[in-house]
Each structure stands twice: as C-alpha cells, then as structure tokens.
Amino acid sequence: MKIHFITGATGFVGKYLVNALLEKGESVWILVLPTENASASVRSQAIFRDQLVKNPGSLRIVEGDIRTENLGIADSVIEELRSHEVVFWHLAANLSFASENRADVQNTNFIGTANVVNLANKVARKFIHMSTAYVCGNSRSFGESELDKGQKFRNHYEKSKFKAEKYVRDNCKLSHIIFRPSVIIGDAYRGKAEGCTFGYYRYMFMFHFFKKQVVKALQENGFISFCLRSLGTRYDAKNDTLTMPALVIPYPKNRHVDLVTVDYVVESMIRLHEKNLSNITVHLTHHNPPKFNFMLQAVLSDLGYQRMKLIPVPAWIFKSFIKSLYFFVVPIRKYTKSVMWYVPYFTDPCHFERSAAETHLENPPEILRELVSRINKYAKENILDDIEI
C-alpha cells in the first residue's frame, strides 16, 4: 500500500497538502509534535477534525519530533512503514527570523532535516523536500540547479534552509524533488496566522493596528482628536472606513513582491510527484509578480483607509522610513522589527530561473485584485483582531 508520510502537516502549506492528498483518495500519515498542553492526537483533532471524520481510515496520526533520532517514532511504527510504499514529504520548518530563536531554527530546519532524510533513507521510496527560494541569500539571480554561489544570508532562517537543502542533495539516497517557493499567500487558518506568522500578515497588521489607534483617539475627543480632525481625519463607523487625507505613505518604486498562492504550490508539488521526476529542484515562484504599490493599495483599501497618499521613493529611502518607524513608534516596535526582516525580499529582489516549472507546470495564477481582497477579507474577519501586541 502507498503511504504519504508528511512532516509539517499542521503548518500552513501542510494542511493544504493533507487535504489535497485525501481528496485524491490517498492514504496519509502525519507526524505531529505534542506540546505541553496537548498531545499529538488532541492537536490533530483540533486541526483535522473534519478530515478525521470523513476519512477515518485514510488519515493516521503519528506522534514524534523531527529534532530527535528516527523522529522519535516508535520502532513498531517504523517497521510498519518498511512494509509499505512510502512517499516522504518533508515540510516541517521553523520560520522565525528572530535572533533569540536562532538555536531552535537550527535544530528544526537543519538537524531536523538531517534526521528526516536519515529515516526516509531507511523506510521510503521517494523523498520530497520543501526548501525556499530564499536560499539564494543576497544573489540577484539564481538557477534551479544552483545552491552554493558564495551568497550571503540575510538571516539565520535562510542559512538554516540552505544547510538543510545541501544535506538533502548530499545525503538523500532516494529519488527526490526539492521545491523552492517564494512568499506563499492564501487563507491561512486561524491557528497558523496567530501572532502574524507570515510576512504578509505582519504588514497588514501594522496598518490594522494603526487604524484602531486613530479611531480610538478620535473617539476620545482630546487634543489628539482635535489635531486629527483639523487635518481632515474622519471615521465612518457604519462602513468602518477611515478618511485620512494627510496620511502620506512611501513605498519603494519599481519594486515587485514575488507571491504565489498556497493552492498553486500544493497542486504543483503533487503534479510533479505524479510525473515521477527525479532529483530535480523546482522554483515555485511567479512569472509576473505584482507590484508592491498594488499590494499596498489593496491592503489599505480593504482595511477601510480612504484618501491617503502613496508616494514612490527610492528603495534606500523606504528602508530608512521603516527603520524610523521602529525607533519612534514604540507601541508597535515588536511588529515593526519583524516587518524590517522582510524588507529585502521586495527592495532587493532576485531573478529566479523557472525552467522546470515552465517545462512541467502551468503558470501560477495572476495576483489579481479579487484574489487579494478575498485573502484580506479573511484576515480581517478571522485573524487581525486576535493578535496581541
């Protein structure tokens, strides 16, 4: 029997992959890490309740931890895996850029990948690894077959993913595919978007929080309210719109954001797996990434901002503006810092070769206004108000 064994199944992309494979009638086993407050079974029930009811015999929970030898899986389960045709999908990763999480990122992304590869070599027939396009570091162009170009890494997340991919290339004895997506967007379910897990949500939350503070100030009718109103600031509670004609927001001119949708990423991974391609690396990046100002305008509009001014500036001025926010706007410093981490991904873009994707896949869907509005609407209704500073 064929079994799809997945690490990182409780993550953003992992959940979509589990759903897609189950819908195709596949048998899926997922490795789930227990926490102090919940067992692997309890965590899985919360995330995959509907799937477990609908596919009781097709979805199996395996308790374990990729940071330990043999992933902490019981010997009996490993022996059971040996008797099946196993396709090993490795998606688990720590996405943190924070310096205080450096050790955890290293243990999960590199040591964890080494443990996963070593076990897969024993029990699986095929290995599929989720890397990232940003193993490119500060390179300005990057080929799918390239890995070590002497690039400098902008954070320890990039470096850990580089080391993990190198381990796969050097040590995986199985037929394997390495996928490198760019920034993935979509309807992140509540559990994975809490705390602004993704860079896109971090930017959105900044403007959401700012709007709440302005509205609060207007309602208090104090000196700040007087100043805001004298500048033409108005809040329409019925339509939840904030008019701010004095608000000027700079953005880096002539810059794009390389975004791909989660459904495109998952469908592409499954499609290339089914083609039985072997030992290739695939950039799941966009052939026509949207402009930064398009995304910024969409976020502001969907959050209810009206009549603000967007001003194009050179990239270095935009970087300076973000840094000034960090130093002077103390209440949201925590999130401004995290926004700063993502600035290089659109101010210093890389050109990604897409030969494998262009040969074997259709182009990703265009990032159109309707799509962005749907994602923003979901975030506004389900995520942003639950985030705590």
Residue 266 lies in a domain: no
d(C-alpha 248, C-alpha 68), whole Å? 51
Task: Tell me the mean pLDDT in the region 209-224.
Answer: 91
CB 345 within 8 A of CB 257: yes
Same domain, 142 and 231: no
Instruction: From 159, 181, 203, give the residue that closes a domain.
Output: 181
Same domain, 108 and 160: yes
CB 195 within 8 A of CB 387: yes
Residue 134's alpha-carbon distances to 127, 144, 190, 368, 381, in angstroms, are: 21, 12, 26, 24, 31
Instruction: From 134, 154, 181, give the residue that closes a domain.
Output: 181
pLDDT interval class at 196 (50, 70, 90): very low
Residue 281 lies in a domain: no
Q: How large is the angle between the packed helices 333-342 and 315-328, nearest 10 degrees?
A: 160
pLDDT interval class at 188 (50, 70, 90): low
Alpha helices in 39-100 (DSSP H): 40-47, 49-54, 75-82
- The count of other CB atoms within 10 Å of the CB of residue 52 is 17
Same domain, 314 and 295: yes
Residue 22 lies in a domain: yes
125-163, pLDDT tens digit by residue? 999 999 999 999 999 999 999 999 999 999 999 999 999
10-55, pLDDT tens digit by residue? 988 999 999 999 999 999 999 999 888 888 888 888 888 888 888 8
Residue 11's alpha-carbon distances to 60, 65, 113, 249, 283, in angstroms, are: 16, 14, 16, 33, 20
Same domain, 131 and 208: no
CA 208 from centroid of its chain's CA atoms: 20
Angle at the Cα of 26 from the Cα atoms of 25 and 29, rounded to 5 degrees: 135
Residue 84's alpha-carbon distances to 77, 124, 128, in angstroms, are: 11, 8, 17
Domain extent at residue 156: 2-181
Decide: helix, strand or coil at residue 127. Answer: strand
User: CA 103, 106, 109, 114 torsion: positive or negative?
Assistant: negative
Instruction: From 181, 210, 227, give the residue that closes a domain.
Output: 181
pLDDT interval class at 389 (50, 70, 90): low
Same domain, 68 and 152: yes
pTM, whole model, 2 decimals?
0.92
Residue 340's alpha-carbon distances to 53, 184, 201, in angstroms, are: 42, 18, 13
Same domain, 10 and 156: yes
pLDDT interval class at 387 (50, 70, 90): low
